[in-house]
Each structure stands twice: as structure tokens, then as C-alpha cells.
Amino acid sequence: MAVPRPVLPRLAVTAGEPAGVGPELVVKLAHQALSATLVAIVDRDLLARAAARCGVALVLQDDDGSVDTQPRPGLLRIRHMPLGAPERPGQPDPRHAAYVIATLAEAADGCMARRYDALVTAPLQKSSINDAGIAFRGHTEFFAERTHADVVMMLASPELRVALATTHLPLAAVPAAITTPSLERTLRIVHGDMIAKFGIARPRIAVLGLNPHAGEGGHLGREEKDIIIPLLERLRGEGLDLRGPLPADTAFVPAQRAHYDAVLAMYHDQGLPVLKSEAFDRTVNLTLGLPFIRTSVDHGTALDLAGSGRADPSSLIVAARMAIELLARRDAALR
């Protein structure tokens, strides 16, 4: 008796900024033998033009909601969203802002309605959306508001996972944003998703200090003594395995890494340069706390490369593969 092939998960894919490299990356992603059905939420003609610029043959098929049982490289399902104005590679146009927002809304709503099993996003241009008069801070914040979820940004490579206590804030605004309630919420989300999404039964989380030398006993800042240390001690009492606060300048050395499964950095540029400098093309942006799996590239729109067909799709490919792995791990845990 023949064993039926497993049904492949449906991954929603957004192409991000029309004038950036996103459409070209999606075209190249479609030629990978991934164990998933890819559904691009994009303007059909935009993607066709990107394929032509890349010199890549691509079959575009309107999505009918069905599922596949085997990979189909070179074929991409489309959920057509009209662009409204032609793109000019390398030159973002605020007229495209409403289109970009519409693709993100369809992706999030589709995941919530289970039309898609997970979401993979290409880079967008935040400044172009803001120039159109739309208040927009980034993918992470948009999906949090759309789904009414508390979320945490995490970037992960095969060797390192770094979550952020604050995301896209001016550095001067970071200390005021490090509060006991916000930090507790972040740590609980990271702890919970390390179990639920990564399958680590007892995650070990290293927490960085905000100040140099983790405050040097209060001499270089009091956030550690007044906020971070008391909170870590309380949560340890509940059974969470939390290390720190650790000085950021030594937390990433190999001897330290052996003692944790993830790092919580206090601000964007405290932890991410370490991660990106050693694994730029193998790093994935994850949004923890969402009711669905969302992964993304770890880079921007690369406007200088847009239209050349030379953009490297490695990060988008790794993001798609991680989404598939996380889905498989979640499904196995539910069996």
C-alpha cells in the first residue's frame, strides 16, 4: 500500500520595498527545492519584471488555496496585490507605501485565518513609508499591532540567538524604556518561545547589562542595581534560568556562549553587530510572541544593487528554511 506524501506547509512571502532587492530575492527563492508551498503576496507584474532583470524563468500561478505534496522549484503562487505605480529600481517612491502596507496586512491576516502556515518577509524601506505620511516603525511593530500581541525581536544564526529588549529607538531613549514591566514581559516571551518554537525544555538566557561593565556596581549607571538585578532574582525564584546581567563586551566570547541558549540585549546595536559580523548571510530575523511563525532577512533593501539581478538571496533562503524547521518542530510537539 502506497504511503501518502505529507502535505507541504504554505509559506506566505512578502517582497517588501518594490524599488529594493526584495522582488529579485523572492524570484530566486522560488527556484529553491524547499519543503513548502510558496505564496508570494505581491504585484504579479512587479515580480515578472524582477524575474526578467535576473534572467530567471519563473512560472507565476494565481493561488487557489490548495496545497502541494512535493516541492515545485521555478513555480511560484501569487496572491496579486496591485502596485499602482511602476517601480524604479533603487529609487523608493512614497506612492508605493500603501501597497507595501497592504501586502503586510494580507500576510498577517492570512496567517491568523490559517490560509498560510507561516510568514517570510523581504526587506522594506521604512523611510519611504514614513515619507507617505504613514506612521511606521518596522515589520515587528506592525505585526504586533495587527495581531494585538506582545512581541520580541530576535535574530538567530546557527551559532547564536540574540533577542532585543528595545528595538528601533534612538539611543537616548533606551534607558527610560528599560522598565521592570517591559523587561519582565520580554523575558517571559523569550523563555516561552524558546520552549514552544525551538524545543528547548529549559532555556538558558543570558541577560546583558545596559551600562559598560554591567554598571560596575552602580558606579557606571544604576539600571542594573535598580531594575535588572531585582527582576532576574525574582524570575529565577520562579524557575527561569537567567544569567547576568553580563557585561556586553565579554558576553559573546566562546567560553560564555557555552552557558546559554539565547542572549537578551538591551538595545539594537548592543548585540546585533556581533551576530551580523560573523554570520550575516546565515542570520534570520524572528518575531517572538506572535500567534504565527514569522521570519525575515537580516539586511536592508540594498538600493545600490536593486535592478542589477546580483542580490544574494542567501538570507531569504535561510529565513524560509528556518520557518519550515520551526513549523516541523511545532507540529511534532503537537502530535
Q: Is the peptide bond before 23 cis (omega within 30 degrees of 0)?
A: no
**CB contact set of 284 (below 8 Å; sequence gap of 6+):** 155, 156, 157, 295, 296, 297, 298, 315, 318, 319, 322
140 has binding-site annotation: yes
Say if residue 101 is in the same domain as residue 245.
no
**CB contact set of 276 (below 8 Å; sequence gap of 6+):** 155, 283, 298
Q: How many domains does the chain have?
A: 2
Question: Averaged in consecutive runs of 10 residues, what is the pLDDT profile of the chain (335 residues)?
Answer: 66 96 96 94 96 92 89 92 92 94 97 97 94 90 94 91 91 95 97 92 96 90 94 97 94 90 95 83 90 92 91 93 91 68
285 has binding-site annotation: yes
Q: Determine the structural domain holding residue 67 and report its residue range.
A: 1-149+291-334
The CA–CA distances, whole Å, from 23 to 9, 12, 27, 99, 211 equal 22, 14, 6, 14, 40
Three-state secondary structure string covering 192-261: HHHHHCCCCCCCEEEEECCCHHHHHHHCCCCHHHHHHHHHHHHHHHCCCEEEEEECCCCCCCHHHHCCCC
The reported pLDDT for the residue numbered 181 is: 97
H or E segment at 163?
strand 161-164
Say if residue 103 is in the same domain as residue 162.
no
pTM for this predicted structure: 0.89
114 has binding-site annotation: no
Task: Tell me 118's DSSP state.
Answer: E
**Angle, CA 276 vertex, CA 94 and CA 188 arms, to 5°:** 90
Say if residue 141 is in the same domain as residue 223.
no
Say if residue 235 is in the same domain as residue 246.
yes
Say if residue 114 is in the same domain as residue 189.
no
Say if residue 284 is in the same domain as residue 327.
no
Say if residue 115 is in the same domain as residue 57.
yes
The reported pLDDT for the residue numbered 5 is: 55
Assess contact for 5 and 37: CB atoms under 8 A. no
3-state secondary structure of 34: coil
Say if residue 46 is in the same domain as residue 3.
yes
Q: Which of 88, 100, 263 is nearest to 190 (CA)?
A: 263
The reported pLDDT for the residue numbered 3 is: 40
232: buried, middle or exposed (CB in 10 Å: 19+, 13-18, 0-12)? buried
Say if residue 145 is in the same domain as residue 37.
yes
191 has binding-site annotation: no
213 has binding-site annotation: yes
Say if residue 319 is in the same domain as residue 264.
no
The reported pLDDT for the residue numbered 335 is: 62
Say if residue 2 is in the same domain as residue 144.
yes
148 has binding-site annotation: no
Q: Where are the alpha helices (DSSP H) in 74-125?
A: 97-112
Q: What is the CATH number of the domain that holds 46?
A: 3.40.718.10
Grid coordinates representing 11 are 509559506
Say if residue 181 is in the same domain as residue 208.
yes
